[in-house]
Structure 1
């Protein structure tokens, strides 16, 4: 495979749009799997192609750097990879190629936001610039109305890891870790950490073929955080990075996923739907739970779950849980109400308001079933309380749930 790195040395005001790009000074460096150092290709000097051992029969990948940093050839084999400003430069290049055949693919790695957010498709990276366009958005957090990375969709598939606004491990609190690793330049590393995460995510897709990250089509990150978008039906999910399934769509599709703070970035997504019955009539409670999972390969213990909207009445709540490791097929769940002395006092207060007779059961939460969907395998499972006679849950209590037949789903059918 041929890799060409294109470094922009200068930029004029007119490079903001696709209409005027006459003042660029560009260098092309050719890299192949047989050479460790790049070989410079000079513009309009075709003999340098032979000098650099350019192989026109191989696919061509062009990497275009951001702010800092003519061939007898099949256009469909060309893949432009642009980071930051380079993402839009790649779009400009794709749109200016004349003829009926477009270049094969453009990948935008956190395309730049300033001067491009809200612009028309002709003045930024857009799906029309290649046969297939994908983009990874990692730093769209706005400050004073601007964000480093563009927030709006610009591709056929737009990926928003962790919502796209910010990335795990990039918070200012990690500046000391970065200084320890990089020295004083660690401060700069912290600032650009989330922006560059798009690059590392793409590299990760090349280095870890066995850990490809799956992303899911969803309207927004809040809905995704409830685990309600883990469907792969009708092409609703796709693979982030180099191995994406290329599919042209009439409208940009926004996909979301969670990641780890470092390579390999892949996590495993699960939706947990838990049906609660609050026996304390008219009183909403806001407990915190933890969940422990037993799989055929590994276990995952003490994963926190918080019900943000509180529990009231008879209702099913949906949660997103992510795991760093593949635990295999889920076979058992332990569900615990993380009770404290404060909760016990609340329960004592409730007893004075809603007294129950001595020897009778006090009111609590009823948890009958837990339904689980694994995003990566698309497997659906139902878990029932191990003790059929005792389905009530109180503060500081833990209940065990095992695989069972989904009686409710059977009744629906």
Structure 2
């Protein structure tokens, strides 16, 4: 177990030692409703700051309407409220201002408010977790004041909460009176301890807003705990890189973090995976031309096999701010792989290969390279982790940091080890080896590659006339089949899309 994981485990275990599960109902009882109605007597435990520019902000007081006007609140613009999580040092984390700046700079006509609940967040974890309901009511009170005095519709509100802030946002949505709901809540790696396994009324849930999305980035479990919640809590739940841990967040990256953050580099390494959810969201706002696509799948294992790159019937969606807001009765789990740094987008490809012959006792290693109209992939290792069976199709997931364009050529190489070359006679081949006596062959039945982002599937045919036999240590070139030209394929793809309801 790495030092980072040990520190995270000890930290959470210490603060949860005396913790108890949060109980109660999110639905506001009559006494709570009365408190919310008594606006003049309501005392907020949180401080709300209207973000202006740079590090400049303006304190809001829902009881003094002139502060809204003087701080530049524009009732014609949407409102985003950013809420931080648990605080170890009682200081506002640097990502808060970076996220606020990103939103204000790129979206322009928008109100951005920061929820400062550091006085409650800077407690032991169970106490801070218990305070999430209180802070949720504070946000509800602010929204209620906007409704009453500005006739501001809460459907124009987008709550973005990180860690404990995600559950705070959920409570804020559930405490609202009336039939109108908050427009959107985004949970950035919602906190797991004391919320995992709880009922929808005791955590962030799809019922808390018209649309709820969540990004899970640190669900790796140690000592029975995970920093981020593993269960689905939204209409769309995204699990980048499986959701358990993130590339670039291990100890090997500590020197990079130190060079970037100085003395805070070690702290950044510890919270790297948890905070990655924030940076993925910022990436979606900053890099509009590189939106990360995620795909619905049953679990991480199935996704890594490359069998889930399907966009029919809303099975895929865009991670982050520009998500398609499609509501459904059940939570959808979506998976994707990302780079270790911004821009995080990777292009997903499904590689399918069918072998005609059967081979026992060997798990061959293949290398493929793809050439498209825009880029080349370079060599991509493919490991078949099981014996090759006759007439069986094997599927693999390939991710690249560049778009290859329309695929035109594929090169396949079968890497044979010295052991294989010396003991090839132990391999049983149930299909004749095409006359090349003494040389074991893999006989390829079909090869295709599907691009997840475009949904285009390309079939490849042997370039030469010697069939589709592949010898050990041989390069074999396959080209796009003549009947599968890019123009024809796009026409077929568009026709299929037109038939999808």
TM-score of the alignment, normalized to the shorter chain, above 0.5: yes
- Deviation of residue 75 (structure 1)? 0.7
**What's the counterpart of residue 6 of structure 1?**
none
Q: Does structure 1 residue 152 correspond to structure 2 residue 231?
A: yes
Q: For residues 225 and 36 of structure 1, what CA distance do their matches in structure 2 show? A: 42
Q: 2:323 aligns with which of 244, 252, 257?
A: 244
| Distance in 2, Cα, partners of 1:103 & 1:13 | 30
* 1:299 aligned counterpart, secondary structure: coil
Q: Does 1:31 align with 2:77?
A: no
Q: Mark the runs of 5 or more structure 1 residues left unpaired by the alignment.
A: 1-11, 408-413
Q: Distance in 2 between matches of 1:378 and 1:19?
A: 43
Higher helix share: 2
> What residue number does 1:205 align with?
284
After superposition, what is the alpha-carbon deviation per residue over 1:64-109, rounded to whole angstroms, capped at 9, x for unaligned? 0111242121111000000000000000001001111001000000
Unaligned runs of 5+ in 2: 1-18, 36-42, 93-144, 485-501
The answer (yes or no) to whether the contact 1:339–1:397 under 8 Å persists in 2 is no
Separation of aligned partners in 2, 1:177 and 1:310: 41
Map of 1:263 onto structure 2: 342
Cα distance in 1, alignment partners of residues 214 and 454 from structure 2: 24
Contact kept in structure 2, 1:214 and 1:376, CA below 8 Å: yes
Query: Equivalent residues in 2 for 1:57-136 (5 A)?
Result: 57-68=76-87, 69=92, 70-71=145-146, 72=150, 73-136=152-215
SS at the partner of 2:196? coil
Question: Which residue of structure 1 lines up, in the alignment, with residue 393 of structure 2?
Answer: 316
Q: For residues 289 and 401 of structure 1, what CA distance do their matches in structure 2 show?
A: 14
Go from structure 1 to structure 2 and tell me whether the alpha carbon gap of 1:358 and 1:113 turns closer, same or farther (over 3 Å shift).
closer
Moved more, 55-64 or 21-30: 21-30
Counterpart position of 2:451: 374
Deviations 1:24-77 (A, max 9, x none): 721111124x67511111242222111212111110000001112421211110
Residue 424 of structure 2 corresponds to residue 404 of structure 1: no
TM-score normalised per structure 2: 0.73
Deviation for aligned residue 1:287: 1.2
Report the Cα distance in structure 2 between the residues aligned to 1:249 and 1:19, rounded to whole angstroms.
Answer: 22
1:9 aligns to what?
Answer: none
1:299 to 376, 379, 400: 376
Per the alignment, residue 411 of structure 1 pairs with none
Classify the secondary structure of the residue corresponding to 1:199.
Answer: helix
Superposed counterparts of 1:328-367, under 5 Å: 328-347=405-424, 350=427, 360=437, 362-367=439-444
> Take 1:303 and 1:14, find their aligned partners in 2: how far apart are those partners?
47
Deviations 1:243-281 (A, max 9, x none): 00001110100011111111111111111110113454x
Asked if structure 1 preserves the Cα contact closer than 8 Å seen for 2:361 and 2:427, the reply is no
Question: Displacement, 1:340?
Answer: 3.0
Provide the residue aligned with 2:139 in structure 1.
Answer: none
TM-score with structure 1 setting the length: 0.88
DSSP 3-state at the match of 2:276: helix
SS in 2 for 1:215: strand
Distance 1:55 1:356, change over 3 A: closer
Match of 2:59 among 32, 36, 40: 40
CA contact (8 A) 2:22 2:202 kept: no
CA distance, structure 2, for counterparts of residue 35 and residue 92 of structure 1: 30
- Would the alpha carbon gap of residues 74 and 205 (structure 1) be closer, same or farther in structure 2, given more than 3 Å must change? same
Q: Is the 8 A contact 2:439 2:471 kept in 1?
A: no
CA distance in 2, matches of 1:145, 1:399: 49
Structure with higher strand content: 1
Q: 1:325 aligns with which of 392, 402, 418?
A: 402
CA distance in structure 2 between the aligned counterparts of 1:357 and 1:253, rounded to whole angstroms: 48
Closer/same/farther in 2, CA of residues 272 and 359 from structure 1, 3 Å limit: closer
